[in-house]
Structure 1
């Protein structure tokens, strides 16, 4: 029994318990980010994270962090948290192999402090959200009554476990004995309705732990909950190939994590905001 996954023994070192209180939150965005990535948080706050309302729909953002052993760094994070009031921090070590802890901690926080949101976006720090497109897209779902069992992402349907020891994604047969992974959402981003967040959080108490967060969350938990993943054709595009084009994708992936490119793309998105006329149907 893993104390974080199966018993949910999370403690909040930093919390924003009034982030959603008394607000009609349409969309909550939680961003998985390393504690020391101050520049990344600043970039998001100055781009899509600066938009608190769009088409009269309330948007809230939180940055999700684990603990750091560096006392100086922790003090800086606490100062940042007091200034911006958008950081939550859990009592697990922030590391690549602890991303599953971070995911379930995020679900824990949403369930306890923002369960009035209609939709939730989980994302990494290399994603840019096309707010002028995502809000109308989700609003159409709301109008059509399609607000249950929503799980949209870049779907990975054919992937095998990496068995080479020097590889970042090396996984032993003891950790995962099978020759293929179940279909799952690529870890960089996903859209969920609030009921999916609640169901995944509860289901994690009964699903064996795996450190590959994307395989665990949208693979294992989705299978247990019988959720169907869906990827719209316009789900995401790379930032580099989209800097000056009409922004007709919901998300843009900044693979190089280049701040300048991110700012240019956000400028393109805002320039098209009132006249974007994409050809796809919602």
Structure 2
């Protein structure tokens, strides 16, 4: 099937013309982009890296689970939803509503992928693997799923998008956290983006926060030490609850990371 539990480079028996198969395997099938093959086999997912087992770049986590790469034609909108292993109810709600199948011939195509880290409990990991085999829409990195590792989760989703779904012109990152009451009107977003100039350039779209001061309270999970960022206010940025990146903007972010 198109879903897999990713193993190490020794589990690969395909090549550039491979697709994801059973647990821990990549075998012959439709062509996989070289950068995607590199990412699935433990590399960085850089577009110029097509060597299975290539040394990962710093900060690139190993994959535990990956959905199949995007088959041509690529979706117009790739929806990437950071999630936590325990958020099964939220993922089910997203699949049943705004992250599920929608649209018609007049609506640009979309695809939804959930992005997770690793749970602390082995039993919970087995539950995640069962869910992944059923829905085939889960991307999981080999790092602890904690608030402090959100940067790793974001880098992982950006690298996977570039390497394994690089033809998608737009990426929508949206939380699944019920506390944020997130609901995305995907057809409206896609219709708006379809009216953008082609190519759209470096588009970064969302609810903009202005002149936000860093949290200096060491007891807060939002704590930003002055040694990490010393200015009195952050530059303007879009809320992490949901934002859109064009392919060019996502590439620029990865190059700067």
TM-score (norm 1): 0.66
In structure 1, the residue matched to 2:243 is: 190
Determine the C-alpha separation between the residues in 2 that align with 1:8 and 1:90. Answer: 11
Determine the C-alpha separation between the residues in 1 that align with 2:74 and 2:216. Answer: 47
Per-residue deviation at 1:89? Answer: 0.2
Per-residue deviation at 1:178? Answer: 2.2
Change (3 A) 1:6 1:181: farther
In structure 2, the residue matched to 1:101 is: 152
In structure 1, the residue matched to 2:35 is: none
In structure 2, the residue matched to 1:112 is: 163
The answer as to whether partners of 1:21 and 1:113 remain within 8 angstroms in 2 is no
Determine the C-alpha separation between the residues in 1 that align with 2:217 and 2:141. Answer: 32
* Unaligned ranges ≥5, structure 1: 205-282
Determine the C-alpha separation between the residues in 1 that align with 2:108 and 2:206. Answer: 22
1:146-157 equivalence runs, <5 A: 146-157=199-210
Name segments (4+ residues, structure 1) moved above 4 Å. none
* Unaligned ranges ≥5, structure 2: 1-43, 45-55
In structure 2, the residue matched to 1:82 is: 133
Q: CA-to-partner distance for each residue in 1:214-260, whole Å, 9 max, x for gaps?
A: xxxxxxxxxxxxxxxxxxxxxxxxxxxxxxxxxxxxxxxxxxxxxxx
In structure 1, the residue matched to 2:192 is: 137
Determine the C-alpha separation between the residues in 1 that align with 2:251 and 2:225. Answer: 31
Determine the C-alpha separation between the residues in 1 that align with 2:185 and 2:162. Answer: 25
Pair 1:50 & 2:103 matched: no
Aligned length: 198
TM-score (norm 2): 0.72
Per-residue deviation at 1:136? Answer: 1.3
Pair 1:39 & 2:89 matched: yes
Mean Cα deviation higher: 35-44 or 152-161: 152-161
Structure showing the higher helix proportion among its residues: 1
> Structure with the greater relative contact order (CA < 8 A, sep ≥ 6): 1 or 2?
1
1:152 aligned counterpart, secondary structure: strand
Q: CA RMSD in A?
A: 1.9
